[in-house]
Structures are given as C-alpha cells and as structure tokens.
C-alpha cells in the first residue's frame, strides 16, 4: 500500500508503514470524489474487506443502499475542504452486512505544490460505546419518564388530598409545639369562623372556654408525652362571632414525623348533640323526680285509704247485724260489702305496683336457677299437685347470674302459675323452661300446652292492668302487668307467641349481670 505524504515533517515511507500496521482504526486514502485509493489492516479488520476487493470502490459501499446518510457524504467532504478536517459518527455496514457504529474523521490532503489530492479517512468502531450510551440514554429517558409520572401522581394525589381535606365535614388543624395553629382546613374555618391568619398569634387554649381550659392543658401534656397516641376531648371553643360552641377533637402528636412535624387535630362541631344530651339529661332528671312524686302520691293515697276502708268494713258489719231479715236490705248490704272488698283489693294492688317499682327492691344477688325453680315449686306445690302439672327446666351452661332476685322470682312464679291456671280441659299442664346465653344477655323461654291466646284480639291488652282475656279463669288481671314492669326494670324485653288451643310461649331477655 502506498500513501502519499501529507505536509508533515515525517518520512513518507515510514508514515505509510505506520498507517498500514494500525489495527484498531481504518485509515484509508480516498480521492476528491470519494473513491478508495489505499487500505490498511485496521480497515480490513473493522470493515471486512481485503485490500484487493475494495481498492477503487466508492466509500458509499459502507452505507445501506437506502441509507439517508449517503446524502451526507458530499457534505462531509465539503466540510473537510472548508475546515481542513471534519468529524462525524453514524451507523456503517461491513462486508457481511452487519452494522457497527463508526466514528469517522475526514482530513484534506495536499501535495507539495498545495494541490488537493484527496482525503484521509480514519474510522473507529465505537459500537460498544454506542450501545452503552444508548443504554444510558434509554435508562435516563426511562428515569425521566418515571420521575415525570411519579411527579404527576404526587401532584394528583396532593391535589386530591387537599380537596379531600378542604371539603371534609370535619375540621383539620395543625399545631406546633407551642400549641399555635399554623394551618387549618376550609372546613375548620366553617366550623369555628376563625381564619388561619387569625390564629397565628393565638394558642388553642386562648379560644377555649375558661371552664374547659384546664382539661385541655392537661390533655396537651399527655399528648406531648405520648407521640403517635390519639387523645379525644370534648370541650367548648369561642366562635369568632363571640359565642361558644362544643367541639369533639382527636389530637395526635406527630411532631417527630418528618413528613408532618405537627400536632394533628381532627375536630367536629357537636353543639347540637351536646344540646340534645343536656335536654335528655334534664328530661331524665324530671322523669325521675316525677316517678318519685308518683310513688309518694301512690303511697299516701293507698295508706290513707286503708283506714277509711277498714272503718267502712267495720260499720258495714255492725249494720248487717242490726238490720232485719229484709231481703232488699240484705241485698244492698251484700253489694256494699262486695264493693268495699274490691276497693281494698285495688289499694293492695297499688301497694304491689309501688313495691315493684321501688328502689328498695334493687338488691343485686347471685341467683342459682335450679335452686330458684325448686323454691317456686315448693311455694305453689298445692297448685302443681292439684292440676297434675309437670314442670321441666333446663338452663344449659348458665346456672348462675347476678341480678334482682325478687323480680326474677316474681316473674317466674307469675308465668308458671298462669300456665297452670290457663290449662286445657282434661290435659295435664306441661311447662318447659329453657335458658341460654345470647351475647351479654340471657334469653329464657316459658312454653306451655295450655289454652293459648288469640293475639289478634287480645295482643294489645295482654300486659295491661286489670286486662283479662279469659274470665272463666279466676284472677285479677295483674300477673302479666307485673311481669312486664319487672322485666323492663331488669333492662329487658318480653315477647309472646301463642295460638288458641296450641299453647303459649313467653320469651324474656335481660342482661346476664345487672349493674
């Protein structure tokens, strides 16, 4: 290979030998039109052509036939002519058709007379660097895409979160360690009337009702001592218009959270609820007082009537002894005696009702159901034996509870007695009592095989005072009335299921342990 000597102080033959031996770069000489005049080992190594195959061919063979870069060939040479050298990069093609990324430098060559004799073209294979650069560029582009996407998501989430906060029913405020509010949501402003700017110089305790300030200060001490633990307080704050409103707040110390760095307060206006509670408490107090007044009135009436009724009974007896055997007079005296007896029974019933609702009977005791059933069985044994009644009781795993024994004894006795009294003709009474746990309550069933009740006719009056649905059975109509009062006094409920001639089931439910 012969390469002309450029304008350098280097022996031409030595320069040609140096170029020919270079293997890591393709160094060739092309004429002014781009035809190859020389070829070195580096060119053969990089581009695959032997010297005999390539000399005389145009350098366009290093490009794909439809490669747009072919149009840049003349521009590359023109740039080299203009500047003495031109540097470019791009994809080139080897003899076998494979591609590589080439770094190319065109340098103009002149003879000793200064005439242009062609160009030196130096090409290096930079494919590995190109692939790394492309990978980096792809990675950077992907990173930028992810950053942009995450930024968009963060902004979207922040906007959504901000809208959620600003439109929340509850107020949200952030306090610093000095208990100064430095941020509050729009809902907080709607609740309290205070703008965020109004509160920058005010501590929370300064707008708190004087009667609640100590409770709030104590709560804040606990909040500062317990990071991350929510604390709840209901108290009054001064609305910006001057009146006080009740708010329920949840405070959480998040001062140590680097993303929050605040005491977070979620609060809502509970003025209406507190007003309702106050009104309810007043109604309960009034009701308790009225019940006391009613008890006292009933006590006075019943006791003051007993003496006159006793006197009337005595006078009636004396009068009966002095009146002749006149039938009409005897009939009047009998009617008078019957009325006096009824009045005396009503007075006794009033006393029973008074005792059923009296706090004097509110004695909580341990009740053993098997023992209770036996006590009742013994107290009404004559009624059981007379009617051949069968009494079965099963309380499963509930043998004892703590409650008002006098009430439960009375309830059991009344319901058992009723089942026997309201028996079907020629059918021995069968009463089955079962008890089971129902959460924190006990459910007890009293089921019999008696006459049953037409609930469509008598259901509304079944538990009424002096209401009797079967006058063929002796009674005063007080038993079920007393049962209902006592069940409710236990904090329970009573239901009835019955059909005529199909028996009756009473189901009562009340707390397992009365407090």
pLDDT tens-digit series, residues 234-244: 999 888 888 89
Task: Say what angle helices 327-356 and 479-489 make with each other, to 10 degrees.
Answer: 10
In this predicted structure, what is the pLDDT of residue 355?
56
4 has pLDDT over 70? no
Question: Which pLDDT tens digit goes with each residue over 84-139?
Answer: 999 998 888 999 989 999 999 999 999 888 889 999 999 999 999 888 888 888 88
Tell me, what CATH number does 373's domain have?
A: 3.30.565.10
Residue 141 within a domain: no
CA 500-501-503 angle, to 5 degrees, is 90
**Could you say which DSSP state residue 35 is in?**
B
**Could you say which DSSP state residue 361 is in?**
G
In this predicted structure, what is the pLDDT of residue 9?
37
Among 210, 240, 269, residue at a domain's last position: 269
Task: Give me the percent of the chain exceeding a pLDDT of 70.
Answer: 71
123's tokens: 């090409």
Residues 507, 399 share a domain = yes
Residue 292 within a domain: yes
Structural Rg of the chain based on CA atoms? 54
324 has pLDDT over 80? no
What secondary structure does DSSP assign to 44-113, as a single string?
HHHH---HHHHTT-BGGGGS-TT-GGGGHHHHHHHHHHHHSEEEEEEEEE-TTS-EEEEEEEEEEEE-TT
Residue 145 within a domain: no
Task: Tell me phi and psi for residue 121, to 5 degrees.
Answer: -120, 115
In this predicted structure, what is the pLDDT of residue 168?
59
Give 467's pLDDT tier (boundaries 50, 70, 90): low
Q: Which domain holds residue 335?
A: 276-356
Residues 250, 180 share a domain = yes
Considering only residues 59 and 20, tell me which one the structure prediction assigns the higher pLDDT. Answer: 59
103: CB partners within 8 A, 6+ apart: 87, 89, 123, 124, 126
Range of weakest confidence among 189-198, 464-473, 482-491: 464-473
Considering only residues 467 and 308, tell me which one the structure prediction assigns the higher pLDDT. Answer: 308
Residues 233, 114 share a domain = no
Residues 178, 90 share a domain = no
In this predicted structure, what is the pLDDT of residue 504?
93
Mean pLDDT of 484-493: 89
Task: Tell me phi and psi for residue 34, to 5 degrees.
Answer: 100, 15
Residues 487, 391 share a domain = yes
Residue 133 within a domain: no
Residue with tokens 């450029």: 6
**Could you say which DSSP state residue 396 is in?**
T
Q: CB 374: neighbour CB atoms within 10 A? A: 13
Residues 231, 193 share a domain = yes
Residues 352, 303 share a domain = yes
Of 484, 444, 490, residue with least CA distance to 461: 484
Tell me, what CATH number does 263's domain have?
A: 3.30.450.20
| Cα distance between the two ends of the chain | 115
CB 19 within 8 A of CB 39: no
346 has pLDDT over 60? no
Among 318, 340, 356, residue at a domain's last position: 356
Give 75's pLDDT tier (boundaries 50, 70, 90): confident
251 has pLDDT over 80? yes
Among 71, 97, 125, residue at a domain's last position: 125
In this predicted structure, what is the pLDDT of residue 416?
94
**Could you say which DSSP state residue 360 is in?**
G
What secondary structure does DSSP assign to 139-175, as a single string?
HHHHHHHHHHHHHHHHHHHHHHHHHHHHT-SSEEEEE
Residues 288, 352 share a domain = yes
Distances (CA, A) of 415 to 27, 221, 370: 119, 58, 16
Q: What's the CA gap between 114 and 119, in Å, rounded? A: 14
Give 3's pLDDT tier (boundaries 50, 70, 90): very low
Q: H helices of 193-247, where? A: 196-199, 210-225
In this predicted structure, what is the pLDDT of residue 146?
81
Residues 91, 26 share a domain = yes
300: CB partners within 8 A, 6+ apart: none
Q: CB 231: neighbour CB atoms within 10 A? A: 14
* Residue 450 three-state SS: coil
In this predicted structure, what is the pLDDT of residue 177?
85
Residues 506, 366 share a domain = yes
Give 20's pLDDT tier (boundaries 50, 70, 90): low
Q: Residue 231, by phi and psi: left (phi above 0), alpha (psi -120 to 50) or beta?
A: beta
Q: Is the dihedral of CA 317, 323, 326, 328 positive or negative?
A: negative
The distance between the two most distant Cα atoms of the chain, rounded to a whole number of Å, is: 181
317 has pLDDT over 90? no
Residues 375, 311 share a domain = no
Mean pLDDT of 289-316: 59
Q: What's the CA gap between 478 and 354, in Å, rounded? A: 13
Residue with tokens 């009340």: 510
What does the mean pLDDT of the chain come to?
79
pTM of the entire structure? 0.39
Residue 151 within a domain: no
263 has pLDDT over 80? yes
Q: Please provide the size of the chain in residues.
A: 515
User: Can you give the three-state secondary structure of 120-138, one letter per residue?
Assistant: EEEEEECHHHHHHHHHHHH
Facing residues of 184 across strands? 173
Residue 143 within a domain: no
Tell me, what CATH number does 293's domain have?
A: 1.20.58
Residue 150 within a domain: no
Mean pLDDT of 470-488: 74
* Residue 248 three-state SS: strand
Residue 1 within a domain: no
Range of weakest confidence among 190-194, 339-343, 428-432: 339-343
In this predicted structure, what is the pLDDT of residue 373?
92
Burial 337-358 (b: 16+ CB within 10 A, else e): beebeebbeebebbeebbebbe
Give 7's pLDDT tier (boundaries 50, 70, 90): very low
Side-chain half-sphere exposure of 485, counting CA atoms within 13 A: 18
Of 246, 250, 234, residue with least CA distance to 275: 246
Mean pLDDT of 485-514: 90
350 has pLDDT over 60? no
Distances (CA, A) of 134 to 127, 129, 141, 267, 361: 10, 8, 10, 55, 93
Split into its structural domains, the chain has a count of 4
Residue with tokens 């009781």: 393
Of 471, 426, 469, 467, residue with least CA distance to 449: 426
Residues 257, 366 share a domain = no
Q: Is the dihedral of CA 172, 176, 177, 180 positive or negative?
A: negative
* Residue 190 three-state SS: helix
């Amino acid at each position: 290979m012969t390469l002309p000597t450029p304008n350098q102080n280097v022996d031409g033959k030595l320069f040609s030998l140096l170029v020919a031996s270079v293997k890591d770069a393709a160094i060739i000489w092309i004429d002014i039109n781009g035809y190859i005049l020389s070829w070195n080992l580096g060119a053969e190594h990089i581009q695959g052509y032997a010297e005999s195959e390539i000399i005389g061919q145009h350098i366009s063979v290093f490009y794909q036939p439809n490669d747009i870069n072919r149009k840049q060939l003349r521009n590359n040479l023109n740039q080299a002519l203009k500047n003495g050298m031109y540097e470019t990069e791009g994809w080139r093609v080897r003899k076998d058709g494979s591609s590589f990324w080439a770094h190319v430098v065109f340098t103009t060559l002149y003879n000793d007379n200064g005439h242009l004799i062609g160009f030196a073209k130096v090409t290096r294979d930079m494919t590995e660097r190109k692939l790394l650069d492309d990978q980096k560029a792809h990675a950077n582009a992907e990173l930028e895409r992810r950053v942009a996407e995450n930024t968009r998501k963060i902004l979207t989430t922040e906007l959504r979160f901000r809208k959620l906060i600003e439109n929340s029913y509850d107020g949200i405020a952030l306090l610093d360690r000095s208990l100064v509010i430095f941020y509050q949501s729009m809902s907080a402003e709607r609740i309290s009337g205070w703008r965020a700017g109004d509160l920058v110089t005010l501590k929370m305790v300064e707008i708190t009702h004087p009667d609640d300030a100590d409770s709030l200060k104590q709560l804040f001490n606990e909040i500062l001592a317990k990071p991350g633990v929510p604390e709840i307080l209901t108290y009054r704050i001064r609305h910006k218009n001057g009146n006080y409103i009740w708010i329920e707040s949840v405070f959480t110390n998040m001062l140590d959270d680097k993303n929050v760095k605040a005491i977070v307060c979620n609060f809502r206006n509970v003025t209406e609820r507190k007003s309702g509670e106050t009104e309810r408490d007043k109604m309960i107090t009034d009701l308790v007082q009225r019940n006391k007044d009613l008890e006292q009135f009933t006590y006075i009436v019943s006791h003051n009537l007993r003496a006159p009724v006793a006197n009337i009974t005595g006078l009636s007896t004396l009068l009966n002894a002095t009146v002749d055997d006149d039938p009409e007079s005897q009939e009047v005296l009998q009617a008078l005696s019957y009325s006096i007896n009824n009045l005396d029974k009503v007075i006794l019933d009033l006393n029973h009702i008074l005792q059923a609702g009296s706090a004097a009977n509110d004695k909580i005791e341990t009740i053993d159901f098997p023992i209770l059933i036996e006590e009742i069985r013994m107290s009404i044994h004559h009624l059981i034996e007379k009617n051949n009644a069968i009494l079965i009781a099963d309380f499963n795993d509930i043998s004892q509870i703590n409650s008002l024994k006098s009430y439960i004894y009375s309830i059991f006795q009344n319901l058992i007695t009723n089942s026997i009294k309201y028996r079907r003709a020629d059918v021995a009474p069968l009463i089955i009592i079962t008890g089971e746990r129902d959460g924190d309550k006990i459910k007890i069933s009293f089921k019999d095989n008696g006459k049953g009740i037409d609930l469509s006719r008598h259901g509304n009056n079944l538990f009424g005072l002096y209401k009797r649905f079967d006058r063929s059975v002796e009674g005063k109509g007080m038993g079920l009335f007393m049962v209902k009062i006592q069940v409710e006094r236990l904090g329970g409920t009573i239901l009835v299921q019955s059909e005529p001639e199909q028996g009756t089931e009473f189901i009562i439910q009340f707390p397992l342990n009365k407090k």
